[in-house]
Each structure stands twice: as structure tokens, then as C-alpha cells.
Amino acid sequence: MAGRMSSAKWFGLCVALLLVLLPLTGERYFMFLGAQILIWCLFALSFNLMLGYGGMISFGHAAYFAIGAYACAIFLTTLDLPLVVALPGAVALTVLLAAVIGYFCVRLSDIYFAMLTLAFAQLVWAVAFKWSAVTGGDTGFIGVKVPEFLHDATVFYYFVLVVVCLCGALIWTIVHSAFGKILVATRENRVRAEFVGVNVRRVQHVTFVLAGGFAGLAGALFTLFNRSVFVELAWWSASAEVLIMTVLGGVGSFFGPVIGAAALILLNRGITEFTEYWPAVLALILLGVVSGVSLSLAEGQKHAVIGPNGAGKTTFFNCITGHLRPTSGTVSFQGKALVGLAPYSIVRLGLARSFQRINIYPRLTVFENVQAALISDRGLTFNLFRSSAGLFRDEVRAVLATVGLSEEEDQQAGLMSYGRQKQMELAIALASEPELLLLDEPTAGMSPQETLDTIALIGAIAKRRNLTLLFTEHDMEVVFAIADRISVLHHGEIIASGPPEAVRADPEVRRVYLGEAGDGAT
């Protein structure tokens, strides 16, 4: 581990040295490109503070980038203030507006939070678009008065480098502080955090304001870089870009968004030289987030796929089962190619799956849930004349007995406990008598006792039916209790695969998944 840490430090020092020495190339293009990348890296870091560490997805983060950009332009040009006042003033105004907007946004959660951030961002865009006398409207704010000393490309590059590095160090300090630990706790379990005395709403509000402030500073630097500001900076697509940067690099990883920002800008620069269809190419890149995954299963094997949040586990399952189509590579089962087949065709070949989130028929009874699976499996879907009353009664009851739900067959599925619904989803998957069963986090959200019961149940069923089992799971006790082979997925690639004890001892796995070294990899 010490060797790995040393390598990481040397890599970081090499990158820092390259950044410092970049102006020695004498190429203005490289200096301006480097400054642009650094500015967007700061923007991506600010967004990751909210999404990666706080679990708050914003569709309107570009609003604060635009506010900082416009404020800096107005202070420097319209009010003729010196940079030492204009730059902090732009950040202060952004922080103030982020505090007001955040006050309302953090009162909502999940998709409602995201949509409200988008609404406020569109409001910022509308103000910038309509207030032509101040912002320039759709023409833009042209001709920003940048201080004379920043006209030199080398000086400007070093100025941006110093500011971004200082901000990066400050963000690093924040996410590794006691506040950062509590922030991650609120991301993982808001209710539990509240019941240990955390004012979750206040923690989220502070994070919202901090992220807005750093985004505003990035916007102000962009004004100095571009010497003009356009209303498109506040448009929703700008928020989408910073989201893509964060996802590309790895949500929750400190340096991930930095890598994502650099990669996106360099790809944009390179690809637009050959084609005008950059958005289409970007879509293909995003579809290819799971890449380099090579996995084979032996008959009767119980194989676990583990990895941090966002590693690509569910996407991997979706590629196998036809819910997503991989952009390259092959997926085969017993010699039959699966790529291009619809999910229902794949199921008929002998595959079945459960889902990370409960996926049942909540208004049907437990009996009817399993019966529907059997009707489809036996080819009676379009039989208009055979009564469903009592159809496959014995087979349904046998499946329900297998998962321990015999006494609940007449109960409405949606009214059962979470653990019982998970068991019923397993029953639905088993109804087609699959040869390969895929389980996406089968114990997620269960109580400790439900988890133990489910472990025993899955193990017994797999042994009795000689099932080949492929499953994802975050609970390592579950993984080591069931699996006889484990593969570790990280950033869309398999980084280790083998028997449980070998994987447990692998230093790279311990670094990226168990978090024993380096930046947080969860």
C-alpha cells in the first residue's frame, strides 16, 4: 500500500510540474487551452461538492457560473472597479444569490429539488436575456475591461492556476473535514443523520452556497478568459455539461470531475475539427461508460459483481438483459448472441433477473404476480379464451413455498413489507425456471434479519436448482456468504476477479472499494 501511495504522490507531482512548466512551451494556444481546462475543472469540482459528496443533483448549477461571470464583467467594465474588488465582489454576489435560491431548493428533495434548481436557473437566464441595458441581452456583454497585467498569456495562465489550485485545496479541506463527513452521512441516509442530531437542511444549504460560490468564481475567471459573457452560460445545456464532466470522471471521487472536465474539453476540441456532430459523438461516449468488461460464468457458479456507486454495475446488468444495447463487444449465453435481442427474447433463453429497486405489480396479489410470470413463460399471453382463475395454481404455490410466501398468496403485493416484496420479486424471477439468475442488490434496504434470511434463501435455492447466479451487492457480508467468485467493477472496467479471499486481499480493490488509501473512492 505504501508503494501505491508513493506512486500516486509521484503522479500528482508530475502533473503539477507539467502545469507549472506548460508556459515554457512558448505556445499561446497551449496556455489558453490550459487556462480554459483549469476554469472548467473548478466548475466541475464545485458541482461535485453538491452531487458527489452531498447527493444533491442540480439541473441548474450553471446559473451561479453565469452570475459570477456577469457580475465580474459589470464590476470591471460598467462600474470600473479594480480586479481586487471585482473578483471577490462577483463571488460575494453569487454566494448571496445562491443562499437565497438554496433556501427554497433544500426544502425539497430528489427530483423536486432538481427541478426547482432548473426553474431558478431558467429564471437567471431570462433575466440575463431580457435585461439588455445591463447584460447586453442576447448580444452578450462584449469587451470586458480586463486589467492590463492579465493581457499577457503567461501571466494570465499562472493567475488562473494559482486561483484554481487554492480553491481546489480549500474544497479538499472541506470534503475531508468533520463537515465533509457529515455531508456524506446525509447523502447516504438523511433520516438516520437527522436522528443523530444533524440539521440536514442546514448542512445541504451550506453546501449549496459553497458550491455556488466556487461556481461563481469559476464564472468570473471565465469572464477574464473570454473577455465577454453570453447568455448561453446560464442555459440548461451548460448545467448538463458540468453534470457530464462529473459523471465521466466519477461521481464522488475528488479528482474524477477534474479528469472529466479535461477529457470533455479536449474531446470537444479534437472532435469538432473533424465533424460538426459533437453532441452525437458525446452521446456515444456516455453510452460507452461501461467498457472493457470481460466476464464468463461457469454453470452452477455464484458470481458477485461489486464496486462503488456509479461503477456501472446496473448498466452492466442492463447490457446483459437487453435493457441497454452495448456500443461494442459481445454478450452470449450458451453460444447464443444476446446483443440486439429484446428483454422478453432473452428471458425465453433461460435468463431472469430482479431489480435494484422493487419492480413488481403492486395492485395484484402475490399469487397473481407469480401467475403473470408463468402465463408469459408458458406462451399463453395472447390466449383470449382460457380463464386465468386458478391457472397454474400448483406451480405458483410451489414457487411461493420456495421463497417462503405461501401464507401471503392472497395479499396485495404493494401492501407487504419491503423485505417481503424483495422475496416476491425473487419468486417472479424463479417462475420461468431460469438457468441463469441475475440479482441486482437483492438485500438492498432490508433489515439485518431480512438480510440473513435472504442470504440463506438464495443459497438454498441456488444449490437445490443448480442455478448459475450473477449478482451485485454492496453488503460485503452478503457477498462473501454467497459468492464463490467475485469481480470488482470500477469506472466501467473490471479491475480484479477471482475467489473471494484473493479479491479481499487485492491492494487495488482495497484502495478503490474499501477506501484504505488515497482519495475517497466511494
Splitting the chain (522 residues) into consecutive groups of 10 residues, what average pLDDT does each group show?
Answer: 46 74 80 90 93 91 95 94 95 96 91 92 93 88 90 90 93 88 84 80 93 96 91 87 83 80 79 58 55 68 77 77 76 82 83 81 87 84 79 91 90 87 88 86 76 81 84 79 83 78 80 50 34
From 95, 43, 47, select the one nearest 67 (Cα to Cα).
Answer: 95
Burial of residue 361, with CB atoms counted within 10 A of its CB: 0-12 exposed, 13-18 middle, 19 or more buried: middle
Total number of domains in the chain: 2
Contact 57, 246 (CB under 8 A): no
Instruction: Write down the pLDDT at residue 198.
Output: 83
Is residue 383 a part of any domain in this protein?
A: yes
Residues 56 and 161 in one domain: yes
Burial of residue 133, with CB atoms counted within 10 A of its CB: 0-12 exposed, 13-18 middle, 19 or more buried: exposed
Residues 313 and 247 in one domain: no
Instruction: Write down the pLDDT at residue 356.
Output: 74
Residues 314 and 175 in one domain: no
Instruction: Write down the pLDDT at residue 522.
Output: 33
Tally the C-alpha atoms within 13 A of residue 142's C-alpha that lie toward its C-beta. Answer: 4
Is residue 352 a part of any domain in this protein?
A: yes
Spatial distance between the Cα atoms of 342 and 359, rounded to a whole number of angstroms:
18
Among 209, 236, 265, residue at a domain's last position:
265
Is residue 509 a part of any domain in this protein?
A: yes
Spatial distance between the Cα atoms of 424 and 409, rounded to a whole number of angstroms:
10
Residues 230 and 322 in one domain: no
Residues 390 and 253 in one domain: no
Reduced to 3 states, what is the DSSP secondary structure of residue 96? helix
Tell me how far CA of residue 22 lies from CA of 42, 261, 423, in angstroms: 19, 18, 59
Which residues constitute the domain of residue 454?
A: 302-514
Reduced to 3 states, what is the DSSP secondary structure of residue 453? helix
Give pairs for 84-93: CB < 8 Å, separation 24+.
86/220, 87/217, 87/220, 90/216, 90/217, 90/219, 90/220, 91/213, 91/216, 91/217, 91/220, 93/67, 93/68, 93/216
Element (H, E) at 388: none
Instruction: Write down the pLDDT at residue 519.
Output: 42
Among 210, 243, 265, residue at a domain's last position:
265
Residues 310 and 164 in one domain: no
Neighbours of 375 (CB within 10 A): 18
Instruction: Write down the pLDDT at residue 479.
Output: 83
Spatial distance between the Cα atoms of 252 and 230, rounded to a whole number of angstroms:
30
From 149, 71, 54, select the one nearest 105 (Cα to Cα).
Answer: 54
Give the bridge partners for 302, in sequence order.
Answer: 469
Instruction: Write down the pLDDT at residue 3.
Output: 43
Among 265, 286, 316, residue at a domain's last position:
265
Reduced to 3 states, what is the DSSP secondary structure of residue 350? coil
Contact 508, 328 (CB under 8 A): no
Q: What is the CATH number of the domain that holds 341?
A: 3.40.50.300
Instruction: Write down the pLDDT at residue 357.
Output: 75
Is residue 276 a part of any domain in this protein?
A: no
Scan for cell 458541482, then name that residue: 47
Is residue 291 a part of any domain in this protein?
A: no
Tell me how far CA of residue 471 lies from CA of 263, 467, 483, in angstroms: 32, 12, 9
Instruction: Write down the pLDDT at residue 514.
Output: 52
Instruction: Write down the pLDDT at residue 480.
Output: 82
Reduced to 3 states, what is the DSSP secondary structure of residue 262? helix
Is residue 118 a part of any domain in this protein?
A: yes
Is residue 140 a part of any domain in this protein?
A: yes
Cell of 163: 486561483
Q: What would you report as the CA-atom Rg of the chain, rounded to the nearest whole angstrom?
A: 27
